[in-house]
A and B are shown apart, each in its own frame.
Chain A
Amino acid sequence: MTSDIVTFVFNIIISLVFFLIKLLLLPIDLLIQQFIPSVSSAFTAVGTFLTLIASGLGWAISAVGIPYSAIALVATYWIFKLGFPIIMWGIKLAIKWYVALKP
């Protein structure tokens, strides 16, 4: 249950970061593409290269022989380690607001 909540919060954070990156960089990207398209192409090529690497990550893990359960364990640990304090902080903040606003 806790793990699901933590994962949910993590997904929200990731989505928020995604959204903000897109929102903030959209005009910059459009300007770059409009006026210095070659630079835009270079950026896109770098992004494509990273995506290519990402697409090969699963194969690399498979080639090294690392079990997926170990990767999932590490990922869950870090999500919990980084996400749980935020949840606790959020709960504390909510309680503080409730106490402050309580008539």
Chain B
Amino acid sequence: MMLLWKNKLTNLRQFGLLFFSAILLLPSFLLIIFGNSVSASSIYDDIFTPVEAAVVSEKGNPSNSIDISLIWSSLIAGTYSGDLNYTRLSSCTTGGTPISTHWANTLISEDGAWSTSIANQTFGGNMAGMSNAGDFLIVGFKEHKSTVSLEFTGPETNAQINYTGSGGSTNYAATIYLNSSDELIVTCYSSTLATFARVEPSDDFNVQPWFTTFDITYPSGYEGPEIPSSASLPKIQIYPTVMIVVQENNNVRLNGDNTWLDTYNLPNPDYMIYTLTNEAEEVIEATRLFGPYPQFDSLPNGNYRVFVNAIYTDEDILAQYEFMTTEFFISVDGTAYSVFWNPAENSYCSVRGGYEWNCEISQPGDEPSLITGEPEEWTAEECTVDGYPWIDLGACVRNGLHYFGEYLGINGPSITDSSSPFFQFDTNTFGLTSILVAPITILNNLAGAEYTCNTVELPLPYMSDDLELPCMNTYYITYLGDLYTLWQTVINGIVSYFVIVGILRMVKDAKDPQKDKIEVLAL
């Protein structure tokens, strides 16, 4: 007994230790989780809002200082103030061979005007003359390998910027530091180990901006803002978009909507996977396609889901983007309508018309002319292309979002809410209850003579149509006639015979005083 209590106490002590450890560690975990997310978010914001990182402003002569900030990985921005001369601007060498092909595009001023005066590998001049605005940008392109070595010679300070870009492999890296002579050293490594996260293209400088994995060594005592690393930057989430058209004949067509490719300047995916499930999330059809869009024909009335997945195998793309599953809820009930994916909202835009669509299309592929539907209901441009509704996505988004759930009078998530065990329990399809209740339900229905024949529909794998078994009695009556009647009469007679015998036996037993036991159904 003592041993037992000792064990219990030991277990209790261990539990207590674990419990209090968990309480103590919980804030740390929360801090890590939420701290990271906040940090990533703020870094992300900072990237889009160029911040002048005052790396050397306090080091040099204030009147001749250079403020360096990295806007994007391929953009190194410096704010120049004072009368500063640069003495050398040279391209890098790849295997000793200077590359100067694109030098004209590597130095631009703040206003976006390209400086074409630095085509030479080495040249000198007055920085102020190049950029009176005081800001300059060094732009590296992924198309070419380059090392930019800028040495600024001011009256009282020297600073050096080394910029190295690596082309072809689209890799850049950078290191910024101050040397012992208070020289600012910005070295961008050409590194194949770097990972990148491309952000949305910027029109400001007509470049493809890239985040870079910077390996930054800050000087001792440096307290200025730090340049973010792309490793901490979140991937851009992309929802592949399609247009879904539900037709009156219960055919569901998927049409192209390549805005997501255009927006992010992405190549075509290796393939797409379209999955159609019913409301119970049972997969009806899963299609893997390289080119054409799928169609699901003659679906039974009901609610469905369409999942769209884009599959890429390019590691560089996968490093930058996270491809989400676009999920559509559609209802097939003999009514024609269209469903779009609104990338801005990551939600549906469902358009359902009760009016005729017709328009003239002069050439295949042309945008149809404007057809006004019912203005009070919908003002988007609508018509048909190849017999399918065509609705301008932009107009759809502009004029209002008709969320699918709202249209159906249900909320989309309510379908998933039915996964609650309580709901499923009420429908007797949950756990052990479903097993025990099913035979009783059969018995109850038998007792109530509720077993009238219903057509049996069995879903077939890899087939769009279900196997339908019609009630046979109509066929028997049609083709067998009196023979079927005779068969039923015989069955009725046999059953009646045994029932009557049973009743007689029951009456006989009732007379027997020794047999007044109560018979109950053994459940």
- Which residues of A are interface residues toward B (Cβ below 8 A)? 7, 10-11, 13-14, 17-18, 21-22, 25-26, 28-30, 32-33, 40, 43-44, 46-48, 50-51, 54-59, 61-63, 65-75, 77-79, 81-82, 85-86, 89
Smallest CB gap from A48: residue in B? B429
The complex places the Cα of A44 from the Cα of B488 at a distance, in Å, of 37
Cβ 8 A contact of B487, one of A13, A26, A32, A65: A65
* A-B interface pairs (CB < 8 A), number: 154
A10: which B residues are within 8 A, CB to CB?
447
Contact A47–B428 (Cβ < 8 Å): yes
Q: Chain B interface secondary structure, helix, strand, loop or mixed?
A: helix
Interface locus among B50-58, B121-129, B467-475: B467-475
Number of B interface residues, CB 8 Å?
53
Contact A29–B429 (Cβ < 8 Å): no
Report if B441 contacts A (CB, 8 A). Answer: yes
The complex places the Cα of A65 from the Cα of B481 at a distance, in Å, of 12
* Those 6 A-B pairs whose CB atoms lie nearest each other, nearest first: A47-B434, A29-B431, A50-B438, A62-B453, A72-B449, A70-B495
Known contacts being A17-B440, A75-B447, A81-B519, is A33 close to B472, with CB within 8 Å?
no
Cβ of B441 to closest chain A Cβ, rounded Å: 6
Q: 18 extra interchain contacts, Cβ-Cβ under 8 A, other than A43-B434, A61-B451, A82-B520?
A: A14-B440, A14-B443, A14-B444, A21-B437, A25-B436, A44-B431, A47-B429, A48-B429, A48-B434, A50-B434, A54-B438, A55-B454, A57-B442, A58-B451, A59-B454, A65-B472, A67-B488, A85-B517
Cβ of A9 to closest chain B Cβ, rounded Å: 11
A65: which B residues are within 8 A, CB to CB?
472-473, 476, 484, 487-488, 491
Report if B323 contacts A (CB, 8 A). Answer: no
Report if B268 contacts A (CB, 8 A). Answer: no
Cβ of B512 to closest chain A Cβ, rounded Å: 13
Contact B442–A21 (Cβ < 8 Å): no
Known contacts being A66-B491, A82-B520, is A7 close to B434, with CB within 8 Å?
no
Known contacts being A57-B442, A74-B495, is A86 close to B451, with CB within 8 Å?
no
